[in-house]
Amino acid sequence: MKNLILVLAVVSFFICGCETPRGPGDCPSRVSLTVQIKEQPIFSWDPPCDVDGFIVYRHAVSVSGTNYLDVVWASDITQDNPISPPLVYGVNPAGVDITVPAVQLIEGDKYKVKVLRYINEMPGYDFIGETDFIYAP
């Protein structure tokens, strides 16, 4: 009987084309992101699950009439090193490749933080949570 259950489980896995889950920390398709402003902002999300990357940027910066996003801290997007909350601005999570090192935030400026999960199709990630904050320690 145990062998039959195992065979059925394996067959159903291949029929549905499901990906192997990474574990109990996987995030749903959307999370609620919050920011606690201290000396350095602290980012948390609910449910408190594992994400695959993050980006923090200053809202549009105008240069000669053209608006740009000013990325101030970002990580690579990978399933290899899941990131759990809380995430303290500028404190690089263990094992996570940082693509944009943290810069000093400007008091009174408006920023946005987004957390991402890896997906198996282009562009390779999905934003699952975001929120704005004003840096005012």
Dist CA 58 CA 111 (whole Å): 4
CATH number, position 39:
2.60.40
Residues 6+ apart with CB under 8 A from 106: 58, 135
In a domain, 21, yes or no: no
User: For residues 73 and 102, is the Cβ–Cβ distance under 8 A?
Assistant: yes
Dist CA 130 CA 127 (whole Å): 7
- Does residue 119 surpass a pLDDT of 70? yes
In a domain, 17, yes or no: no
In a domain, 11, yes or no: no
Dist CA 8 CA 36 (whole Å): 47
What is the total count of domains within the chain?
A: 1
In a domain, 51, yes or no: yes
pLDDT digits (tens, 9 = 90+) for 29-65: 899 999 999 999 999 999 999 999 999 999 876 778 7
pTM here? 0.76
pLDDT of residue 56: 97
Domain with 67 in it: 27-134
Here the tokens at position 29 are 């398709």
- Does residue 10 surpass a pLDDT of 70? no
In a domain, 59, yes or no: yes
- Does residue 91 surpass a pLDDT of 70? yes
